[in-house]
Amino acid sequence: MSKSEIIDAVASAAGISKVAAGKAVDAFIDGVAKALKKGGKVTLVGFGTFSVSKRKARKGRNPRTGEEIKIPATKTPRFSAGKALRQAVK
């Protein structure tokens, strides 16, 4: 499902215009991103939890040359599905 399909679904479910639904979807995405950037968690009961996980620095290999390289530590977003979402997908 693409972002435009989500906007269409929100607009029809809420009975609002596509423009308003687009602003709502953009605001949701922006809010989640800001919360994660601050190191917080976003929990939607029944749907799931967005969080940030830290990856340690590690060593890897350049597949072209076989040379060992250092991969720096980084933060990455994670999503853990809630019970209701897992049940809906079954």
C-beta neighbour count of 84 within 10 angstroms:
13
Ordered structural domains, the chain, with CATH: 3-89 (4.10.520.10)
How much is the pTM? Answer: 0.78
Integer Cα distance of 71 and 82 in angstroms: 32
The pLDDT value given to residue 31: 96
CA-to-CA dists, residue 66 to 3, 24, 60, 62, 72, angstroms: 40, 47, 9, 5, 18
pLDDT tens-digit profile of 12-34? 999 999 999 999 999 999 999 99
